[in-house]
A and B are shown apart, each in its own frame.
Chain A
């Protein structure tokens, strides 16, 4: 083709696309910033982040409750997902033949590919009734089932394939010599995992968890459908809550009604963006450190 024969022409076009792909996200962030500027008119930054007063009609926007709910849901999901992921990943990489990994990989991939709305529908159908009928009464709480805990369960299921995939890669990257040496010295398989593999993989495991946290923090629709969406600091985990992404998703329809509301929601998106980016950068630094430690 003509334009390929002229390398200069074709590479200019390619560089243009690269530039586009790099610049647009930066514009995204700047745009969000500019749009959210209005919220600073009658709120200080500490009010915005820590106050729990949410009165849009008076122009008071305290995101404290929403941030707290988001953190709570994310932590709950990590508590449930991480042990399952570590155990399953160890089992697949150290206890079974590699053929099993080939069998289970598609299952993990399918789980990872299911859209969040499907998780949401499933949560409403199964998880919500189970929690209101069995789990909450078991702990002597009353619950409609639409609760922070339900959100945590759904999120946990959603981040399991994500964390599991990273963990499998990490366990695979550890050279077989070290565990073999440990077994040759008379340690059992589990002792080897506990004292040798876990120690070697520690940074990698932490980074996979942080990746999972960042994924969970930004998840919107599935959580919105099961979490109850009540602006409050929940007294226990079986009460409804209102995480940050749900706030944005639920309120965009009515933002023209109240002046200044749009910039408040944009500010919510900015907070979300920064928290997720913080998690992501931390995880990436950890994983680079881990890769260096494995290679050396």
Chain B
């Protein structure tokens, strides 16, 4: 009898586990399916090749080129800024400061904590520096805010790779007469290049998809920005605004914009997967 109960319990929980896993897979499929099913019918060449015309938000012609270009500018700018700071910092932590383990660990803990700050807090902060510096909502303000948001994420991802490179590589390079900076930027960077590019691409994905941080910093406009000091539309915000319209055609375009964003994110995740596979192939251990 007891044995039978145990058996039933075993099977019951096993079924629950399979169910849980099925929920995870099902939810992803439903999300992607819904977005594509609703979005793809309204997706047209006009939508991705034109900026909004007069009356666009009442269902007239035009597209969301302004938002696509704006988002790409914003994400590229922010990623570039984060790379400039992020690569030296993560190399420094793993090569120059390798001996000071406790210091490096506490800096890592600090960046870990920063990853947890919600993007809306970054948005609020970006807004205050904007006011403080006297600049209006602009591409530049958005780039700085998003760069701050993705910097800890990027450093964490790079650090996770660099810290697993065996010390032998550093010793070999130093014994050949290279100094630490050369070892860092020439040897380590090349050895981990595909993993570092993965980290950069993941950060780019975060940058292009974030809404809360650009809500007050980047502004919104129907034109493609021609300088850093102009406001710019972004894809997530354009989805948000179009969706809040009561007109069905505009809502359909919101779904189409959501489909575009989803496609971008799926491509990014595909590339990063391919690259990290490549890194694991050439990994030294």
Interface positions of A (Cβ within 8 A of B): 1, 3-5, 7, 10-11, 13-15, 17-18, 20-22, 24-25, 28, 31-32, 35, 83-85, 87-88, 90-92, 95, 104, 106-111, 113-122, 124-126, 157, 160-161, 164, 188-191, 193, 211, 214-215, 217-221, 225, 245, 248-249, 252-253, 265-266, 269, 272-273, 276-277, 279-281, 284
CB pair A281–B240 under 8 Å, yes or no, is no
**Contact among B24, B148, B236 with A115 in the assembled complex (CB-CB below 8 Å):** B236
| Residues in B whose Cβ lies below 8 Å from that of A193 | 13
A191 with B6: CB separation less than 8 A: yes
* B21 lies within 8 A of chain A by Cβ: yes
Chain A: minimal CB distance from B268 (Å): 7
Q: List 5 A-B contacts (CB under 8 A).
A: A21-B151, A32-B128, A188-B7, A190-B14, A221-B236
Among A32, A115, A248, the one with the most B-chain Cβ atoms within 10 Å of its Cβ is: A115
Question: Does A220 lie within 8 Å of B92, measured CB to CB?
Answer: no
B20 interface contact, C-beta 8 A? yes
B17 touches A7 (CB 8 A): no
Q: Is the CB of B124 within 8 A of A32?
A: yes
Q: Which residue of the partner chain, among B88, B181, B265, contacts A7 with CB atoms under 8 Å?
A: B181
Query: Across the interface, which residues of B come within 8 angstroms of A95, CB to CB?
Result: 14, 17
Check A266–B96 contact: CB distance below 8 A. no
CB of B30 closer than 8 Å to a CB of A:
yes
Q: Give the residues from 1 to 41 in chain B that come closer than 8 angstroms, CB to CB, to chain A.
A: 6-7, 9-10, 13-14, 16-21, 23-25, 27-28, 30-31, 34-35, 38
* Interface class of chain B by DSSP: helix
Contact at B128–A277, with CB atoms within 8 Å? no
What is the minimal beta-carbon distance from B128 to any residue of chain A, in angstroms? 5
Q: Does B136 contact A (CB under 8 A)?
A: no
Contacts known (A5-B182, A109-B269, A214-B116); A28 close to B148, Cβ less than 8 A: yes
A114 to B113, CA, bound (A): 22
Chain A: minimal CB distance from B75 (Å): 11
B209 within 8 A of A: yes
Set B28, B93, B212: member contacting A245, Cβ < 8 A: B212
Residue on B with the closest CB to A248? B120
| Other-chain contact of B88, A17, A190, A276 (Cβ < 8 Å) | A17
Closest residue of chain B to A187, judged by CB?
Answer: B6
Q: In the complex, how many angstroms separate the beta carbon of B189 from the nearest chain A beta carbon?
A: 11
Determine the distance from Cα of A3 to Cα of B78 in the docked complex, in whole angstroms: 25
Count of residues in B whose CB is under 8 Å from the partner chain: 85
| Cα A173 to Cα B197 with chains together (Å) | 27
B239 within 8 A of A: yes
- How near does chain B come to A188, taking the closest CB pair, in angstroms? 5
- Report B-chain residues with C-beta under 8 Å of the C-beta of A280: 112-113, 116
| B179 within 8 Å of A (CB atoms) | yes
B200 at the interface (CB under 8 A from A): no
> In the complex, A114 Cα to B125 Cα: how many Å?
24
Contact B113 A277 (CB under 8 A): yes
Cα(A55)–Cα(B75), bound, Å: 38
**Cα A69 to Cα B84 with chains together (Å):** 40
Closest Cβ–Cβ distance, residue A295 to chain B (whole Å): 15
Residue pair A115, B34 in contact (C-beta under 8 Å): no
Known: A17-B89, A249-B215. A266 touches B24 (CB 8 A): no
| B88 contacts A14, C-beta separation under 8 Å | yes
User: Quick check: is B142 within 8 A (CB to CB) of the other chain?
Assistant: no
Query: Scoring B residues 74 to 107 as 1 if CB is less than 8 Å from chain A, else 0, what string do you get?
Result: 0000000000111011011100100000000001
A88 & B20 in contact (Cβ 8 Å cutoff): yes
